[in-house]
A and B are shown apart, each in its own frame.
Chain A
Amino acid sequence: MVSQESNETRRLLEMRGIDKSFAGVHALDDVDLDLEKGQVLALLGENGAGKSTLIKVLGGAHLADAGSISIEGQPARITDPHASQTAGISIIYQEFNLIPALTVRENIFLGRENAKFGFVRKSDEYEHSRRLFQRIGLDMDPNARCEELTVAQQQTVEIAKALSVKARIIVMDEPSAALTGKEVEKLFEIVRDLKSQGIGIIYISHRLEEIFEIADRVMVLRDGKHVATRDIGDIDHDGLVEMMVGRKLENEFPARTPAPGEVRLKVKGLNRGKSVRDVSFSVRAGEIVALTGLVGAGRTETARLIFGADQADCGAIDLDGRRMHINNPRHAIANRICLLTEDRKAQGLVLTHSVRENFALPNLSRFSRLGFVERSVEKARFRRFVDSMRIKIPDDETPAENLSGGNQQKLVLAKWLENDCDVIIFDEPTRGIDVGAKYEIYVLMNELAAHGKAVIMISSELPEVLGMSDRIIVMHEGAVTGEITEVSGATQEQIMHLAIGSKTQ
């Protein structure tokens, strides 16, 4: 469509020799990035490879130690987020920058209100917002409050916001992480639409299938270095993974040899409002049971009831044949039930505290005598897990926030393993975790099952569900819609049917 234009005029963004170090860690080492108009560039790499740092340099959140950035051939000095915005760069972070209590319109115009004498001209803003959503091809009420929107809708608000500042470059950081299949389709439509308007898009994702569907070019970072940039047609799935991890990955999932024993956990008629409706299932010792469904199907809510994080309206939970009365997580932990929350940062870890303290938190009663913490015991126990699980930390006093997603997940797992839990609930155990670390987590899950633990894995990643579980329970709108016991013969389509509630099995 624009083939007659020269390379020069098509070039949108040029980053050259970007270098950035943090306290001795070389996060970016001489990285180049090129983006053309109307192009989708996928940025790939394991966690800690430097993707976020590169994006933050572009967004003005970090200042590069060396290197240059030019936009449409003009050198750009991006010293702070504002400079980045004026240069036409818009970044949609994984955690949205929306204020929940404000309306869509207010969020879009936040900081750039269309005002006269300090009074906001609401109708102008309203019209403008509507036109933006029309451009994206979406019907959205600009007066809706953001907290009432779904994750997918919030994302489109972010995109509308980017368009409203006339962004020429839009960076999307894991945009599909919290979306359902249908919503991802919609997102891709929007992305293609943006492409046709000449906007350049940098797309970060861990889902390789998506990248093959949407990206024109793909750039891989590893350990802060630029590995390669290729046209999407020149590379295949395995080649990409190889570039990311720097070695050949034999299998995505480790082999499982399930040996289910007695029923450990039995859930009967669990109810909580509309989010969990009459949920019953059981998990045997040595079994990995997947709990799947679409976003909002009530999987996390069910797990929170078992763990005592929320109170059930009614229902019964039996552990090893004994009736449990779990009112709070403390009870659950005392009965050796644990939950690895999906949101590690908000619910799994005290980010500003050291990894040692995070590890010890649920286990302090065993590390202490007469209320005094025995530091030597604590340290020794922690060291054991650091070594056996290969958690990468500089030292025991490092704040948890400094770890990569994979290592954070291992840390959370370590603190529960120390508690010797019998029932372990993983909520999206591999979300936001790079390929290499994913495999390690799977291996650990297998080991747990092999030791006779009952493992529940909540996951939206269907390949993961099919690859890791012995049994699949599918939920839809708070209720169980089906159970698949023969996993080896199951297909993604079969699960999707159950997940969208069509009981035509």
Chain B
Amino acid sequence: MTELSATRNLTRRFLSDYGMIVGLLALCVYFSFATISTEYPEGDRAVRQVVDKVLADRRSDEIVIVVGRDDAGGKVFVAETVKALRAGGMIEVEQVVGAPADLKAVIAGVQESGKKVSAIATTRWVSQWVLIEKLDEKFAEIGHVDVVVPESFTQSKFLQMRNIRNVATSNVVIAIIAIGMTLVIITGGIDLSVGSLIAMSAMTAAYCVVEFAGARSAGVGAFVICMFVGIFACALVGLLNGLMVTRFAIPPFVVTLAMMLVARGVAFIIGQGESKYQLPNSIVWLGQGDDLFGIPNTLVLMVLLYAAAHVMMSRTVLGRYIYAVGGNAEAARLSGVPVKRVIMFCYVMCGALAGLGGVIRMSILKSGSPKYGEMAELYIIAAVVVGGTSLSGGKGKIFGTLIGVLIISVIQNGMNLTNVESYTQKVVLGLVILGAVLLDSLRGGRNLKGLARLIGLKASQSRTS
């Protein structure tokens, strides 16, 4: 095989495994452009720009008035700017925090003292005061006064750091559970109970904190244990799912549909229909903290879990077994794969990760509610499928799922930024999921086989001696 075709093969395999990455990038590029708008610097940047401009072309004895509105931002702007100008050598700096009338009074004061106002440094908003816009008319006698404001610039709302952080964290719970769902779907199963498990886990953990750990005054060790109780409860439900699927050969769809109802009901029973709010403040560390270079803790946890899952699926014996079970359970069994244990592991994992998702949600919102995670299972399955994992089992990639989650997040976020109505968002999201799967099926050439199956051209099986 030549070098070239080897490279081409690699490229083809990469695209067939992670083809959705192209779609994700396309979406990012689209929303980057679609959300471009004119902005003005705020905060530190605004101060720096204004100060630089004033210092650049003014002697140190000229009079500068710094104006800001009477709100938190305005006060900070004025204080910082004045400080910076004085530090830069300006001697006579007046400051105004308040309404146009206050500015008028200050200008009049300067005038009376027989001096000349050289410049007014202010923010974009204040510069739109009629008084400032028509300064030359209203104070014709003082001559021309420069108005220094931060310069406008264009930028993409989508690409703002704050927004990117938002995209990355908005679906962190979905992303974490989607790891477990990917395992289950690769074995050829499905787990519909995960949405309800989010609520059950959050309610179980919150209940334990409130009842046994001292509610608002619970210590860190105590509420961490409570969180593990929630996760453990969900892992048990996963175990039950796995047992029903392997020992009693009940279709996974039915088993987990039933557990979905059970777990949701249990979540309501635990709180007697109410949410639990009496949680300690420190419980939000996991959900709201950002201790590692300002990266949200949830994001760090998610990335670690994805990395671990990826290594498990691509490098370990267990990972191979999971793929083999989904690809052909009978062939796997006859090759010595402990099929039932492998399937059980995947359901337990999926349940435990749903439990983890539940306590994360509790930590983010500092409360437990039996309504958490409604419909979450559908978004999770959608993310897995969009990420290229085949519902018929045996094929799928962990990072594909992450891409699937990101695609959904980017679309949701982009539509929010471009003011698409929430009803329309649902339609678009649904169509995107369909489109992604359609694309995958067309690319794999499997649509023909799938079609043949649908119209009933299925091979009958016969075993001969």
Q: In the complex the two chains form, is A350's CB within 8 Å of B324's CB? A: yes
Q: In the complex the two chains form, is A346's CB within 8 Å of B458's CB? A: no
Q: In the complex the two chains form, is A309's CB within 8 Å of B334's CB? A: yes
Q: In the complex the two chains form, is B461's CB within 8 Å of A361's CB? A: no
* CB of A430 within 8 Å of the partner chain: no
Contacts of A307 in B (CB 8 A): 334
* CB of A333 within 8 Å of the partner chain: yes
* CB of A348 within 8 Å of the partner chain: yes
Q: In the complex the two chains form, is B460's CB within 8 Å of A99's CB? A: yes
Contact string, B302-338, partner A, CB cutoff 8 A, digits 1/0? Answer: 0000000000000111101101100110111111111
* CB of B154 within 8 Å of the partner chain: no
* CB of A372 within 8 Å of the partner chain: yes
Chain A residues 291-346 with CB under 8 Å of chain B are 293-301, 307, 309, 328-330, 332-334, 339, 341-343, 346
With A and B bound together, what is the CA distance between A361 and B329 in angstroms? 12
Contacts of B456 in A (CB 8 A): 99, 110-111
Chain A residues 365-387 with CB under 8 Å of chain B are 365, 368, 371-373
Q: In the complex the two chains form, is B334's CB within 8 Å of A178's CB? A: no
Contacts of A350 in B (CB 8 A): 323-324, 327-328, 331-332, 394
* Nearest CB of chain B from residue A312's CB, rounded to whole Å: 16
Q: In the complex the two chains form, is B465's CB within 8 Å of A348's CB? A: no
With A and B bound together, what is the CA distance between A51 and B88 in angstroms? 89
With A and B bound together, what is the CA distance between A328 and B464 in angstroms? 21
- CB < 8 Å neighbour of A300 from B315, B324, B335, B464: B464
Contacts of A395 in B (CB 8 A): 1, 9
Q: In the complex the two chains form, is B460's CB within 8 Å of A147's CB? A: yes
Contacts of A371 in B (CB 8 A): 316-318
With A and B bound together, what is the CA distance between A24 and B111 in angstroms? 89
Q: Known contacts A347-B331, A351-B328; decide if A361 and B338 are in contact (CB<8 Å).
A: no
* CB of B115 within 8 Å of the partner chain: no
With A and B bound together, what is the CA distance between A293 and B464 in angstroms? 11
Q: In the complex the two chains form, is A348's CB within 8 Å of B331's CB? A: yes
Chain B residues 245-290 with CB under 8 Å of chain A are none
With A and B bound together, what is the CA distance between A353 and B464 in angstroms? 26
Q: In the complex the two chains form, is A95's CB within 8 Å of B459's CB? A: yes
Q: In the complex the two chains form, is A365's CB within 8 Å of B464's CB? A: no
* CB of B463 within 8 Å of the partner chain: yes
Contacts of B128 in A (CB 8 A): none
Q: In the complex the two chains form, is B460's CB within 8 Å of A100's CB? A: yes
Q: Which of B315, B395, B455 has the most CB of A within 10 A?
A: B315
Q: In the complex the two chains form, is A343's CB within 8 Å of B318's CB? A: no
Q: In the complex the two chains form, is B335's CB within 8 Å of A373's CB? A: no
Q: In the complex the two chains form, is B335's CB within 8 Å of A329's CB? A: yes
- CB < 8 Å neighbour of B459 from A96, A296, A353, A360: A96
What is the total number of residues of chain B having a CB less than 8 Å from a CB of chain A?
35
Q: Known contacts A95-B459, A330-B338; decide if A361 and B464 are in contact (CB<8 Å).
A: no
Q: In the complex the two chains form, is A364's CB within 8 Å of B463's CB? A: no
* CB of B462 within 8 Å of the partner chain: yes
* CB of B165 within 8 Å of the partner chain: no
Contacts of A296 in B (CB 8 A): 464-465
Contacts of A196 in B (CB 8 A): none
Chain A residues 112-171 with CB under 8 Å of chain B are 146-147, 151, 154
* Nearest CB of chain A from residue B68's CB, rounded to whole Å: 61
Chain B residue nearest to A367 (CB atoms) is B317
Q: Which of B1, B321, B333 has the most CB of A within 10 A?
A: B333
Q: In the complex the two chains form, is B316's CB within 8 Å of A373's CB? A: yes
Q: In the complex the two chains form, is A349's CB within 8 Å of B328's CB? A: yes
* CB of B457 within 8 Å of the partner chain: yes
Q: In the complex the two chains form, is A329's CB within 8 Å of B320's CB? A: no
Contacts of B465 in A (CB 8 A): 293-301, 475
Q: In the complex the two chains form, is A368's CB within 8 Å of B460's CB? A: no
* CB of B216 within 8 Å of the partner chain: no
Q: In the complex the two chains form, is A361's CB within 8 Å of B332's CB? A: yes
Q: Known contacts A353-B327, A364-B317; decide if A333 and B336 are in contact (CB<8 Å).
A: yes
Chain B residue nearest to A370 (CB atoms) is B316
Q: In the complex the two chains form, is B455's CB within 8 Å of A111's CB? A: yes
* Nearest CB of chain B from residue A214's CB, rounded to whole Å: 22
Q: In the complex the two chains form, is B461's CB within 8 Å of A329's CB? A: no
Q: In the complex the two chains form, is A352's CB within 8 Å of B315's CB? A: no
Contacts of B464 in A (CB 8 A): 151, 178, 295-296, 300, 342
With A and B bound together, what is the CA distance between A97 and B461 in angstroms? 9
Q: In the complex the two chains form, is A353's CB within 8 Å of B324's CB? A: yes
Q: In the complex the two chains form, is B324's CB within 8 Å of A361's CB? A: yes
25 A–B pairs (Cβ distance < 8 Å), ordered by A: A96-B460, A151-B464, A154-B460, A178-B462, A296-B464, A301-B465, A307-B334, A309-B333, A309-B334, A330-B337, A330-B338, A333-B335, A334-B336, A339-B334, A343-B463, A347-B328, A350-B324, A350-B331, A353-B394, A361-B335, A361-B336, A364-B321, A371-B318, A372-B316, A373-B316
Enumerate the 3 nearest inter-chain pairs by beta-carbon distance, A residue then B residue, closest first. Answer: A350-B327, A95-B459, A333-B336
Known: A341-B334, A348-B331, A373-B316. 6 other contacts (CB 8 A): A93-B459, A151-B464, A299-B465, A329-B335, A347-B330, A371-B318
